[in-house]
């Protein structure tokens, strides 16, 4: 290919491609910063509430462990492990690298996309896993606490716990987090578009 061909090929490139990427980055930067602030606030709130919950559960165990058997201890251990693991899952979805999106590299864009995908999985998958394991722990706890009570009392407690655990998870997934999932999908799509244009 001679110089004239190279020059014609260069001139044939769309002149507004860089402007499109710049405009897309500017709009996405504001949305990303808002998402990060919201994620940070949510993570701090959940962390504080989990720490209070763990302290309360610890007090319950210390105060009552002599009155109940090994199932009581097992349920407390399961809840402790579950809350700790869920906190890890939650904070793993937060993007700690705060690079300027204006100078974002493909690596940084991939990093942002991976964090958004993790947040999406936390909402759509891990919340159900969390609810299921928590429900199992609570069932063990309730069975142990109601072993001397009537069958009606035991099954009523189990029914209420089951309805609450899965009701609140369903509400969180399909009502509370619906807008958040749309934002995550939009940001993922825009980041992928920037990456594709940088590679073009």
pLDDT tens per residue across span 121-173: 999 999 999 999 999 999 999 999 888 888 899 999 999 999 998 999 999 88
Q: Does the residue 121 lie in any domain? A: yes
Q: Does the residue 128 lie in any domain? A: yes
**Angle separating helix axes 151-171 and 127-145, nearest 10 degrees:** 170
Q: Does the residue 3 lie in any domain? A: no
- Report the domain count for the chain: 1
Structure tokens at 47: 């962390």
Q: Does the residue 5 lie in any domain? A: no
Among candidates 125, 95, 100, 103, which has minimal Cα distance to 188?
95
pLDDT tens digit sequence for 66-80: 899 899 999 999 999
SS3 content of the chain, % helix, strand, coil (to 5): 85, 0, 15
Q: Does the residue 176 lie in any domain? A: yes
Q: Does the residue 188 lie in any domain? A: yes
Domain extent for 147: 23-199
Please list, in sequence order, all residues whose beta carbon lies within 8 angstroms of the beta carbon of residue 161, skipping any fewer than 6 positions away: 135, 138, 139, 142
Please list, in sequence order, all residues whose beta carbon lies within 8 angstroms of the beta carbon of residue 24, skipping any fewer than 6 positions away: 190, 193, 194, 197
Q: Tokens 């110089």: give the residue.
A: 3
Instruction: Check residue 102 and give its pLDDT.
Output: 55
Residue 96: which pLDDT band, with cuts at 50, 70 and 90?
Answer: confident
Mean pLDDT of the chain: 84
Structure tokens at 108: 């940084």
Q: Does the residue 74 lie in any domain? A: yes
Q: Does the residue 141 lie in any domain? A: yes
Encode 54-91: b = buried (16+ Cβ within 10 Å), e = exposed. eeebeeebeeeeeebeeebeebbebbbebbeebbebbe
Q: 135 and 166 in contact (C-beta within 8 Å)?
A: yes
Instruction: Check residue 171 and give its pLDDT.
Output: 92
């Amino acid at each position: 290919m001679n110089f004239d061909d190279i020059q014609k090929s260069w001139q044939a490139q769309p002149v507004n491609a860089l402007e499109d990427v710049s405009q897309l980055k500017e709009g996405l930067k504001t949305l990303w910063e808002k998402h990060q602030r919201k994620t940070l606030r949510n993570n701090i709130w959940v962390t504080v509430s989990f720490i209070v919950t763990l302290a309360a559960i610890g007090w319950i165990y210390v105060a009552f462990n002599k009155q109940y058997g090994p199932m009581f201890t097992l349920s407390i251990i399961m809840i402790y492990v579950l809350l700790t693991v869920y906190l890890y899952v939650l904070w793993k979805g937060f993007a700690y690298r705060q690079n300027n999106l204006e100078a974002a590299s493909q690596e940084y864009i991939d990093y942002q996309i991976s964090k958004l995908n993790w947040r999406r999985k936390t909402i759509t998958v891990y919340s159900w896993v969390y609810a299921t394991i928590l429900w199992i722990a609570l069932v063990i706890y309730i069975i142990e606490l109601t072993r001397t009570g009537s069958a009606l009392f035991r099954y009523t407690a189990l029914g209420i716990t089951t309805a609450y655990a899965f009701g609140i998870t369903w509400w969180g997934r399909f009502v509370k987090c619906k807008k958040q999932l749309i934002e995550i999908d939009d940001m993922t799509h825009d980041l992928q578009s920037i990456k594709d244009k940088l590679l073009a």
